[in-house]
């Protein structure tokens, strides 16, 4: 390949596809003929069955005690192998999918059975998530929320610029993109009432987030140093951490969110590796005051990833973009989040999920939640068909997408995370 030639695949990849050969994210799909769950990667409009490649002996070295890594129904075993194995597997996939490599390109039998159109398969949860942590790492979001509920001069609490604020969430209710979600019920306290009432959430919201999944993990009692944290990060997903604002307002003192957040968190089906995101590294916001030594990072420790939120009501034919933000706006980076999480010796495991918290940018159209976009309901969003929204209504569909845009004309994308709100259940 010439020095400045952009690598391409023998698989035709449409312009502006999220899945060129430079990406090769990991996921799990249901085989259309056998109903088995299979580990896969994405290339253009296709999924590629990694178990088929492994059974054809096209991988070398990516094994765990003689067991075929991609024969499992989730990616956890592969994630446990660590960065050298992840990089090796990705390099081998890149080699096999390259336009000038005949091994897979000219094997008609293997191509027929290993490739499936994405439109013909169902993507499922790619990992077994053991634990889930949600951070609160966007300064603009924290400032906006603090300004609404306190005042702009005291928007950030005293600890916010000294540590990545977070809480432990509920792993069992993390769901894959496309899952329909019922409006949650709970206690709320109307302003004109002395007592709480029970019923459906009235202030339902989305939260634009990104998350990372860990690999090998650490032993109990052994913190992960901030300089080594990326060795533990397998890859990233999009996250919609749905929020019941009125339930949270009543319940969160003194221990923070509970029922307001435990009913659903949606993630995208594709895990984009840090190797794929490497060309899009950038610096994050300046941190002042300087963090304590265990949280200090140098150089470019975040990524330039465009994040969009689209909203479609039942009366709309096409979704409308209501937010465009960027992952690089986060004040606390992933390495700092993981180092802080484990500084007590907390042990993390393959498949654990860590979400960023709402990612809001500096402009009003880059705010990552309805709470901010409609400013606590005082400035309703006006949609193209004339409808307005203060918060989400039944039948609304929220779609989040994310991609990094290369100067060489390709995207490294995440696909989408999508969810529709159904009415609250009976009872």
- Spatial CA neighbour of 417 closest among 175, 109, 231, 54: 175
Summarised one tens digit per residue, pLDDT across range 176-205 is 999 999 999 999 999 999 999 999 999 999
pLDDT at 60 (0 to 100): 75
- What confidence category does residue 4 fall into, taking pLDDT thresholds of 50, 70 and 90? low
CA distances from residue 58 to 51, 97, 422, 424 in whole angstroms, order as listed: 10, 12, 45, 49
Under 8 Å between Cβ of 329 and 358: no
Summarised one tens digit per residue, pLDDT across range 302-352 is 999 999 999 999 999 999 999 999 999 999 999 999 999 999 999 999 999
Position of tokens 């029922």?
Answer: 259
Q: How far apart are CA 115 and CA 45, in angstroms?
A: 10
**168 carries an active-site annotation:** no
Phi, psi of 356 (to 5 degrees): -80, -25
Mean pLDDT of 23-38: 97
Q: How far apart are CA 403 and CA 106, in angstroms?
A: 31
Per the prediction, the chain carries an average pLDDT of 96
Mean pLDDT of 132-141: 98
pLDDT at 65 (0 to 100): 57
CA distances from residue 309 to 320, 332, 373 in whole angstroms, order as listed: 8, 22, 11
pLDDT at 188 (0 to 100): 97
Summarised one tens digit per residue, pLDDT across range 370-403 is 999 999 999 999 999 999 999 999 999 999 999 9
Does this model's pTM top 0.95? My answer is yes
Hey, what domains does the chain have and what are their CATH numbers? Answer: 26-124 (2.30.30.230), 132-422 (3.90.850.10)
Under 8 Å between Cβ of 183 and 422: yes
Q: How far apart are CA 233 and CA 214, in angstroms?
A: 5
CA dihedral of 217, 222, 226, 232, whole degrees rounded to 10: -10
- Asked if the model's pLDDT at residue 35 lies above 80, the reply is yes
pLDDT at 68 (0 to 100): 85
Length of the chain equals 427
Strand partners, 392: 204
In this structure, the number of other CB atoms found within 10 A of the CB of residue 205 comes to 25
Q: Which residue in the list 31, 116, 141, 329 is annotated as catalytic?
A: 141
């Amino acid at each position: 390949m010439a020095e400045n030639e952009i690598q391409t695949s023998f698989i035709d990849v449409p312009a502006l596809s999220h899945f060129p050969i430079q990406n090769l994210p990991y996921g799990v799909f249901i085989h259309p003929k056998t109903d088995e769950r299979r580990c896969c990667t994405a290339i253009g409009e296709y999924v590629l069955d990694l178990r088929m490649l492994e059974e054809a002996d096209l991988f070398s070295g990516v094994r765990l005690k003689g067991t075929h890594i991609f024969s499992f129904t989730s990616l956890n075993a592969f994630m446990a192998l660590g960065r050298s194995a992840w990089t090796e597997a990705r390099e081998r996939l890149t080699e096999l999918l390259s336009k000038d490599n005949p091994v897979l390109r000219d094997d008609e039998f293997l191509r027929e059975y290993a490739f499936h159109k994405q439109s013909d398969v169902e993507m499922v949860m790619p990992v077994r998530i053991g634990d889930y942590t949600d951070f609160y790492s966007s300064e603009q979001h924290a400032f906006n929320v603090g300004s609404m509920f306190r005042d702009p001069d005291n928007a950030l609490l005293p600890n916010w610029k000294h540590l990545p604020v977070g809480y432990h969430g509920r792993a069992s209710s993390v769901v894959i993109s496309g899952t329909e979600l019922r409006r949650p019920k709970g206690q709320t306290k109307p302003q004109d009432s002395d007592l709480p009432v029970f019923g459906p959430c009235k202030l339902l919201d989305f939260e634009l987030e990104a998350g990372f999944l860990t690999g090998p993990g650490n032993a109990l009692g052994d913190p992960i140093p901030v300089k080594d944290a990326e060795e533990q990060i397998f890859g990233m997903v999009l996250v919609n951490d749905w929020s019941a604002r009125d339930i949270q307002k009543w319940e969160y003192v003194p221990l923070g969110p509970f029922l307001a957040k435990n009913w659903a968190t949606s993630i995208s089906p594709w895990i984009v590796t840090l190797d794929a995101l490497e060309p899009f590294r950038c610096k994050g916001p300046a941190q002042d005051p300087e963090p304590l030594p265990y949280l200090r990072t140098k150089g470019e420790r975040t990524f330039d990833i465009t994040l969009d939120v689209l909203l479609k009501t039942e009366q709309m034919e096409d979704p409308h973009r209501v937010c465009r933000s960027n992952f690089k706006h986060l004040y606390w980076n992933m390495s700092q989040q993981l180092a802080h999480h484990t500084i007590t010796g907390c042990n993390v495991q393959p498949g654990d999920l860590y979400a960023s918290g709402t990612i809001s940018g500096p402009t009003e159209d880059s705010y990552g939640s309805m709470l901010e976009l409609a400013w606590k309901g005082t400035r309703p969003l006006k949609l193209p068909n004339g409808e307005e929204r203060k918060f989400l209504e039944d039948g609304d569909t929220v779609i989040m997408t994310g991609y990094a845009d290369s100067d060489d004309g390709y995207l490294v994308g995440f696909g989408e995370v999508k969810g529709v709100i159904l009415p609250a259940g009976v009872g």
